[in-house]
Amino acid sequence: MFETLTEKLNGVLQRLAGKGRLRERDVDGALREVRLALLEADVNFRVVRDFVAHLREQAIGRDVLESISPGQQVAKLVYDELVNILSGDEHKLSAAPQPPTVVVLAGLQGSGKTTTAAKLALHFRKTGQSSLLVAADLRRPAAIDQLVALGRQLGISVYHEGISSTAVKVAKAGVEEARRMGVNWAFLDTGGRLHIDEEMMEELEQVRAAISPHETLLVLDAMTGQDAVRAAQEFHERAHLTGLVLTKMDGDARGGAALSVTQVTGVPIKFIGTGEKVDALEPFYPDRLASRILGMGDVLTLVERAQEAVDERKAKEMERKLRRASFDLEDFLEQIQALKQMGSFGQLMEMVPGFSSMSRHLPQEAFDEGQVKRVEAIIRSMTPEERQRPEIIHASRRQRIAAGSGTQPQDVSRLINQFRQAQRMMKRLASGRGPGILRGLFG
pLDDT in tens, the chain (443 residues): 677 888 888 888 888 877 767 788 888 888 999 999 999 888 899 999 999 999 888 888 656 666 667 777 788 888 889 899 998 878 889 899 999 999 999 998 888 899 999 999 999 998 899 999 999 998 887 889 999 999 999 999 999 998 788 999 999 999 999 999 999 999 999 988 777 778 888 899 999 999 999 999 999 998 888 888 898 998 998 889 999 999 988 776 677 888 889 999 999 999 999 888 888 898 998 888 888 788 765 455 555 555 555 555 665 665 565 555 566 787 777 766 666 666 555 555 555 554 454 444 444 454 556 677 888 899 999 998 998 888 899 999 999 999 999 999 999 998 888 787 766 766 665 555 444 433 333 33
Give the burial string for 395-421 (b: 16+ CB within 10 Å, else e). Answer: eebbebbbeebebebebbeebbeebee
pLDDT at 441: 36
Q: Identify which of 83, 76, 70 has the alpha carbon closest to the alpha carbon of residue 15.
A: 70
SS3 assignment, position 286: helix
How far is the C-alpha of 9 from the C-alpha of 410, rounded, in Å?
Answer: 41
Q: What is the CATH number that goes with domain 3-86? A: 1.20.120.140
Q: Identify which of 103, 86, 104, 137 has the alpha carbon closest to the alpha carbon of residue 294.
A: 86
> Model-level pTM?
0.70
Q: Identify which of 200, 191, 41, 192 has the alpha carbon closest to the alpha carbon of residue 108.
A: 192
pLDDT at 443: 37
Q: Considering only the top CATH level, what class is 300-442?
A: mainly alpha
CA 195 distance to own-chain centroid: 26
How far is the C-alpha of 416 from the C-alpha of 155, rounded, in Å?
Answer: 40
Q: Identify which of 80, 43, 50, 91 has the alpha carbon closest to the alpha carbon of residue 255.
A: 43
Strand partners, 189: 105, 135
Strand 157-159 relative to strand 215-221: parallel, antiparallel, unpaired? unpaired
pLDDT at 436: 40
CB 3 within 8 A of CB 25: no
Q: Where in the chain is the domain with CATH 3.40.50.300?
A: 101-288
Helix pair angle (299-309, 329-342), 10° resolution: 120
How far is the C-alpha of 418 from the C-alpha of 421, rounded, in Å?
Answer: 5
How far is the C-alpha of 259 from the C-alpha of 352, rounded, in Å?
Answer: 22
Q: Where in the chain is the domain with CATH 1.20.120.140?
A: 3-86
How far is the C-alpha of 423 from the C-alpha of 323, rounded, in Å?
Answer: 11
How far is the C-alpha of 12 from the C-alpha of 88, rounded, in Å?
Answer: 27
pLDDT at 350: 58
Q: CB-based contacts of 430: which residues, under 8 Å, 6+ apart? A: 319, 322, 323, 442
Q: Where in the chain is the domain with CATH 1.10.260.30?
A: 300-442
Strand 269-273 relative to strand 281-283: parallel, antiparallel, unpaired? antiparallel
**What is the fold, at CATH topology level, of the domain defined by 101-288?**
Rossmann fold (3.40.50)
